[in-house]
Amino acid sequence: MVIIISALAIITETFAQNTIIINTDKPGVVISKHLYGHFAEHLGRCIYDGMYIGEQNNQISHTDGVRNDVIEALRKLKVPNLRWPGGCFADTYQWKDGIGDKAKRPKIVNVWWGGVTEDNSFGTHDFLNLCERIGAEPYLAANVGSGTVKDFSDWVQYVNFSGVSPMSDLRQKNGREKPWNVTYWGVGNEAWGCGGNMKPEYYANLYRQYATFMTGSNLFRIASGANSSDYNWTEVLMREIPLHLLEGVALHHYSVIDWNKKGSATDFSEEQYFKTMQRAMQMGELVTKHAAIMDKYDPQRKVALVVDEWGGWYDVEKGTNPGFLYQQNTMRDAMIAGVTLNIFQNHADRVRMANLAQVVNVLQAVILTDKEKILLTPTYHVMEMYNVHQEATQLPVTVESVMYSNGNEKLPALSVSASVTTGGIVHISIANIDSHNELPVEIQLGAKHFKTVSGRVLTSEKVNDHNTFEAPNKIIPKDFAKARFKGETLVAAISPCSVVVLEVRP
Ligand code: AHR
């Protein structure tokens, strides 16, 4: 039994093999690099003791208090945007507490995450300068839940205004002459939950008010979006917010097996793996249905669907603070990343921005740190392998795939997306979620002629394998030698539980 998957249709039929048809003659939209965004919240050891170790630290190499190894890893990853300071934390954050003389900044309690005291030593300047250093655009999630319109519009003026004003004067007094010109702004976070437990109608009204007072050019305003399949939330927002006030609508979806029984990040059964894949693949249905609602009110697709929180969520590692959400990252997470990025790329006409939760030491992190040690997770490597798709042109893909089963439940084993560069190089990303079977695939590339193929693969013997501080390179991308041309057809053998990126040249 195999299934045919295209961006729009799912048809079940019987085929002898796995076939991938890539329509190189009909390129689609440009895949926004912003699909590859990350998220840094004041949560656990993400900012403090993860990225930021303080200017006084003389044990670990840093620039203005931010670890140089983290900066280097993020630069290499080509992080296009970084969301900050939350998350739930965003709707408690008073940005004025985090500027000026660090010794005089007020201490606050992080009420959402662990109840720990923070000294505000990492604030607006620290974050925006870090973004400059890693070459990412900042995405500021501003406080709506417990803030005011004035606080919000002051922040916009503080970071963006180049003329004379109270806020730009204050910025200059604090050492930054030129504005940072921040484009991406989140108007609150999870307004349906930690952002204020609001009803969508109430939030839509608030959004209109806040968005009105965000002045300046080139602003990209993102409304706090739905939780997974809460389609009514998207419906109300799209109906109630005029399009001239809106550039993006968010969506949050985590690949959680069961919110009351998440399970271990590393010690999990095949059934738990399968369920995680089910939840990850649900993203396809979610973006399709939210996008269809958006199409009703915005047929020209001006407004982007911004999946600004996604990823796997498990029990915290033993012995760590339950409020810090620190978890290991295995090949299961690499598969979540491969499958999810394929979905985003296949829906790139509407999904134009996304943020993996979270960048360092929290949830599905790409980097883990332990004092002076650092490791790059399997998820990091998938995001790095896939970054060849950033700003390339999407190619329509149809997949005939065998099924990966667990009891009576089935999922297509193969997930695929493809793009072409301006120079005509085609990249094909393939994830095989089947944890037992290597899958032979035939790839048809349309009427255009291609001659050479190379590739990289990320895989490991077991799905719960992971990198540790003792063995940080157990799982790293390797050259992929199992693809070749057979006439005009490309044939490949995709290892069980692996993510492959092929590069095909004319
Ligand atoms: O990413 C962790 C938390 O998950 C975020 O703070 C919140 O927005 C979501 O519920």
Bridge partners of residue 357, in order along the sequence: 39
The distance between the two most distant Cα atoms of the chain, rounded to a whole number of Å, is: 70
Report residue 9's pLDDT band, with 50, 70 and 90 as the boundaries: very low
Domains and CATH numbers, the chain: 13-26+395-505 (2.60.40.1180), 34-356 (3.20.20.80)
Radius of gyration in angstroms for the set of CA atoms belonging to the chain, rounded to a whole number: 22
Report residue 14's pLDDT band, with 50, 70 and 90 as the boundaries: very low
Is the distance from the beta carbon of residue 87 to the nearest atom of ligand 1 less than 6 Å? Answer: yes
Q: Which one of 118, 137, 190, 384 is the catalytic residue?
A: 190
Nearest CA to ligand 1 atom 8: 87
**The pLDDT of residue 147 is above 70:** yes
For 141-179, the three-class secondary structure string (H helix, E strand, C coil) is: EECCCCCCHHHHHHHHHHHHCCCCCHHHHHHHHCCCCCC
> For residue 369, how far is its CA from the centre of ligand 1 (angstroms)?
20
Alpha carbon distance 204, 221 (integer Å)? 13
Q: Considering the chain, what percentage of its residues have pLDDT values greater than 70? A: 97
Bridge partners of residue 38, in order along the sequence: 82, 356
For 501, list phi and psi in degrees, rounded to 5.
-120, 120
Q: What is the DSSP string of 317-342?
A: PTTS-GGG-----BHHHHHHHHHHHH
Residue 250's pLDDT is: 98
Q: Is the dihedral of CA 383, 81, 336, 469 positive or negative?
A: positive
Are 135 and 390 in contact, with CB atoms under 8 Å apart? Answer: no
300-330 pLDDT, tens digit per residue, is 999 999 999 999 999 999 999 999 999 999 9
The strand ranges marked E within 358-482 are 367-370, 373-376, 393-395, 397-406, 409-412, 414-420, 426-432, 439-444, 452-459, 478-479
190 is catalytic: yes
Alpha carbon distance 322, 437 (integer Å)? 36
Mean pLDDT along residues 185-206? 98
CA distances 478 to 188, 428, 454, Å, are 41, 16, 11
Residue 15's pLDDT is: 41
> For residue 41, how far is its CA from the centre of ligand 1 (angstroms)?
9
> For residue 88, how far is its CA from the centre of ligand 1 (angstroms)?
6
Nearest CA to ligand 1 atom 5: 87
Residues in the chain: 506
Is the distance from the beta carbon of residue 308 to the nearest atom of ligand 1 less than 6 Å? Answer: no
Is the distance from the beta carbon of residue 364 to the nearest atom of ligand 1 less than 6 Å? Answer: no
Alpha carbon distance 451, 473 (integer Å)? 33
| Tokens 């195999």 -> residue | 2
Bridge partners of residue 441, in order along the sequence: 18, 492
CA 144 centroid distance within chain: 23
Q: Where are the alpha helices (DSSP H) in 298-409?
A: 331-346, 378-386
Q: Which strands sit side by side in the sheet containing 426-432, from one edge to the other? A: 393-395, 414-420, 426-432, 498-505, 452-459, 478-479
Residue 66's pLDDT is: 98
Pairing of strands 137-142, 81-84: parallel
Residue 305: closest CA among 226, 217, 388: 226
Are 301 and 295 in contact, with CB atoms under 8 Å apart? Answer: yes
Report residue 448's pLDDT band, with 50, 70 and 90 as the boundaries: confident
65-104 pLDDT, tens digit per residue, is 999 999 999 999 999 999 999 999 999 999 999 999 999 9
